[in-house]
């Protein structure tokens, strides 16, 4: 698909899923928060679920965590226009509680369809809920800063990079430092993947 086709296909996925998604959270949410950004992005960032500001505006990561994420993107000379950003769950859980397994499962066909269209080179998992969706049973405190290739049932093989969630790291000095350090590895990782796709030296052992 070329970039126009991807844009149209992604808009169609988001339109169709907003009508048909069976997540219980749609009963209490003000707005659905499908995701924003570039349908042809090399990187997709996946967070947990919309918060209050996101529920009000229909856009992901527009609150304090979003501001922090923008700063980190700037630090690697990227902006939101270069990426696509979405969440595991597309509706705000009441009082920002953790999403329940049923809610994650109900929103999975939506996330899966988004990833199928965008087909990114790299998927960044922000925090424990995103990690749990793709790599069950692992701890973010162990997996952060690690890139790994993984085949996801019903989806295909992708390269993932797990990070602490910006909201968790925002006011925690050492976690913040770790997140900033991990984040700065993204450009090198992308370059490596680009070379690999171009047929350069490649080895799954990188991951
Ligand atoms: N936290 C998330 O995980 N997602 C958002 O969209 C906002 C805050």
Q: At what angle do helices 101-118 and 3-20 cross, to 10 degrees?
A: 160
Q: How confident is the model at residue 58 (pLDDT cuts 50, 70, 90)?
A: very high
Mean pLDDT of the chain: 95
User: What pTM was estimated for this model as a whole?
Assistant: 0.96
- Ligand 1 close to Cβ of residue 54 (< 6 A): yes
Could you give the strand order of the β-sheet that contains 156-163, starting from the edge strand earlier in sequence? 36-37, 83-87, 43-47, 122-126, 156-163, 147-152
Q: How much of the chain exceeds pLDDT 90, in percent?
A: 94
49 ligand 1 Cβ < 6 A: yes
Q: pLDDT, tens digit, for every residue of 14-32?
A: 999 999 999 999 999 999 9
CATH number for region 3-199: 3.40.470.10
- Residue among 37, 45, 57, 60 to mutate when testing ligand 1 (max atoms within 8 A of CB): 60
Testing ligand 1's pocket by substitution, the residue of 167, 170, 179 carrying the most ligand atoms inside 8 A of its CB is 167
Convert the pLDDT of each residue in 123-140 to its tens digit: 999 999 999 999 999 999
pLDDT tens track for 171-201: 899 999 999 999 999 999 999 999 998 886 5
Q: Where are the domains of the chain?
A: 3-199
pLDDT, residue 189, reads 97
128 C-alpha vs ligand 1 centroid, how far in Å? 12
Confidence at residue 201, expressed as pLDDT on a 0 to 100 scale: 59
Q: What is the pLDDT of residue 150?
A: 96
């Amino acid at each position: 698909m070329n970039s126009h086709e991807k844009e149209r296909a992604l808009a169609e996925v988001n339109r169709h899923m907003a009508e048909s998604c069976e997540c219980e959270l749609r009963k209490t949410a003000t707005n659905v928060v499908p995701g924003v950004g570039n349908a042809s992005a090399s990187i997709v960032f996946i967070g947990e679920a919309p918060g209050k500001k996101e529920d009000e505006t229909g856009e992901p990561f527009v609150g304090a965590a979003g501001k922090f994420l923008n700063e980190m993107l700037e630090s690697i000379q990227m902006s939101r226009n270069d990426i696509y950003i979405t969440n595991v769950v597309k509706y705000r859980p009441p009082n920002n509680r953790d999403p329940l397994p049923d809610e994650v499962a109900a929103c999975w066909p939506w996330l899966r369809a988004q990833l199928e269209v965008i087909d990114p080179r790299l998927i960044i998992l922000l925090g424990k809920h995103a990690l749990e969706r793709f790599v069950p049973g692992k701890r973010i405190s162990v997996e952060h800063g690690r890139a790994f290739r993984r085949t996801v049932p019903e989806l295909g093989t992708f390269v993932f990079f797990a990070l602490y969630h910006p909201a968790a790291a925002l006011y925690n000095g050492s976690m913040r430092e770790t997140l900033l350090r991990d984040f700065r590895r993204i450009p090198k990782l992308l370059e490596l993947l680009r070379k690999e796709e171009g047929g350069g030296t490649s080895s799954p052992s990188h991951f």
